Structure 1
Amino acid sequence: MTSSHTHKWGLRRASSTARSHAPGEAEGKQALSVTGRAGFVARGVVYVLVGALALQIAFGGGGREADRQGALQQVAAQPFGKVMLWLLVVGFGCMAIWRASEALLANGPQNKVGSRLLDAGRAVFYGFVCWGTASFAAGSGGQSGSDAKSQDWTASALKLPGGQVLVGIAGCVLIGVGATLAVRAVMRRFLRKLETGKMGRRVRQAVTALGVGGGVARGVVFAGVGVFALVAAIRFDPHQAKGMDATLRTFAHTPAGPWLLVAVAVGLVLFGGFSFASARWRRL
């Protein structure tokens, strides 16, 4: 076989291999896209319910905790609640898988080491959320809420060598994360990850409002939890640590009265709506 024939045969083989692999890659990307969108839907459901529970607290009807545990209790109380809970389990599992795929497989200049590590951390977080939701759906409804967990974790951390410093660092990190989330929301950085070209003008305006309002409220809650963790470290008192529920209730006791809590609660509902919009228009 001449060298020219060998070269042509190699080109045909490479072309055939590319064609045979392309459908598989397309199917894989499509599967990951569906997985990510399911995760955003699950996140949206929980944030809408947490925001609704926070609104009840603001207007004097705070029976359930305004956190993920309270949201799951709300879901369980509905008709077909058990089925809905397991759908949330699947959704959070999908989110964990999609975040892990972003950390391991995504290409492009936007996926630097820092971004990959952030996605890996998110994958771990949603893995724990999936596990906790599955435990609740399986009948472990008596697990503690965010406030008790925060105090337990803080107490355990304070017992470690240098634990006071560790808790203080964790608080500062949460404050920084909250501030970053709020600033990015105000700057509308989230629009870079959405297919805005497929939206109409009014839809784009609505999604932008959801992203800004929801992102700021989410950042405020993260920063609030961080402040209480920092106070717990300074005072060496784990009871000063607060989860999402206690942090939200604290907003009602500020000089602004319950209206600050109302504003944050509405913002959390908006973020839930933004999560639904992300399920539709996020670039995946």
Structure 2
Amino acid sequence: MALAKETLENAARCGYAARGIVYLLVGGLSLLAAIGAGGMSGGSTDALRELMNQPFGGVLLAVVAAGLLAFALWRLVEALSDADGHGTGAKGLAVRGAHLVSSALHFGLAAWAIQLSLGIGSSGGGDGAQDWTRWLLSQPFGPWLVAAAGIAVVVAGGAMLVRAWTAAFRKRLRCGRDEETWLIPLGRAGYAARGVTFLIVGALLVLAAWTHDPSAAKGLGGALQTLREQPYGWALLALVSAGLFAFGAFAIAQAFYRRIDPPEPRLNTRRLKTA
């Protein structure tokens, strides 16, 4: 049992590190684009595709993909076992539901990255947000479902901004005062930037539902591009990109300092009754 808990904890820590690498790439490339030094304002798949183009890119991408798979598994365990103790109240269930969605998204991203590293399937691909929005709009009550998804994303973005303001993530850290002096600002900047991107993504989903136009829906890359198109867009993009880079650094720090309490494995000790 102890070995199983230790293995799951190590997998979770590798997962946080892999997520951090993805955000470092997204934030760093977007920041370079904002200041006119190359780069690009894209999402997670764009960043991983850029990683694939580097020396030994296939190996690097495979390692990151394995970490993302571990993070997806940890999110699933968090959601089902309530490892972080969120409880079964409305707020707790909402957080655990968000973990389920995060698990599914990271499983999908990991699978895509593994295929890309092995040269299987297409390395191009369209906007995933537009693809699933198009499918959802074609279903009964589709616009209402898309609007509900958009509102949920907006609420999640607002929660991240609150987390940035209150530094509520502090209670999940296991570190001393010295580490907190740089961890807390990193986390605040990171959650604030993620909150802004979530607000944009959610608003665009609501717009897609209102107009019945799936092309209005955007993912992370689309949210960053939307920022760039605003007045003083380069400055807005640079600010948010720096925050996403900070979130990547914070996620890597979480791999070392986050409090992770895997659930105890349960064995079925009931004996089978014989006839």
The two structures share one fold, judged by TM-score above 0.5: yes
Equivalents in 2 of 1:94, 1:253: separation in Å? 36
Equivalents in 1 of 2:224, 2:73: separation in Å? 30
What secondary structure sits across from 2:54 in the alignment? coil
TM-score, normalised via structure 1 length: 0.83
Amino acid at match of 2:189: G
Runs of 4+ aligned structure 1 residues displaced above 4 Å come to 61-65, 106-109
Cα separation, partners in 2 of 1:109 and 1:138, compared to 1, 3 Å: closer
Q: Tell me by how many angstroms 1:193 deviates.
A: 0.5
| Uncovered stretches (5+) of structure 1, i.e. residues with no partner | 1-24
Maintained 8 Å contact 2:79/2:99 = yes
CA RMSD of aligned residues (A): 1.9
Q: Which residue of 2 aligns with 1:166?
A: 145
State how 1:260-275 maps to structure 2 within 5 Å: 260-275=236-251
Which of 182, 185, 198 aligns to 1:206? It is: 182
Tell me whether 1:154 sits opposite 2:130 in the alignment.
no
Cα separation, partners in 2 of 1:160 and 1:83, compared to 1, 3 Å: same
Equivalents in 2 of 1:204, 1:83: separation in Å? 34
Amino acid at match of 2:34: A
Moved more, 75-84 or 40-49: 75-84
Sequence identity percentage: 34
Maintained 8 Å contact 2:27/2:241 = yes
Moved more, 48-57 or 274-283: 48-57
Tell me whether 1:92 sits opposite 2:75 in the alignment.
no
| Uncovered stretches (5+) of structure 2, i.e. residues with no partner | 261-275
Which of 127, 130, 149 aligns to 2:110? It is: 130
Cα separation, partners in 2 of 1:159 and 1:121, compared to 1, 3 Å: closer
What secondary structure sits across from 1:45 in the alignment? helix
Equivalents in 2 of 1:240, 1:121: separation in Å? 22
Radius of gyration: which is bigger? 1
Which of 108, 112, 123 aligns to 1:142? It is: 123
Greater helix proportion: 1
Q: Tell me by how many angstroms 1:97 deviates.
A: 1.8
Equivalents in 2 of 1:218, 1:108: separation in Å? 21
TM-score, normalised via structure 2 length: 0.86
Cα separation, partners in 2 of 1:158 and 1:76, compared to 1, 3 Å: same
Maintained 8 Å contact 1:51/1:66 = no
Q: How many residues are paired up?
A: 255
Q: Which is bigger in relative contact order (C-alpha 8 A, separation at least 6)?
A: 2
What secondary structure sits across from 1:161 in the alignment? coil
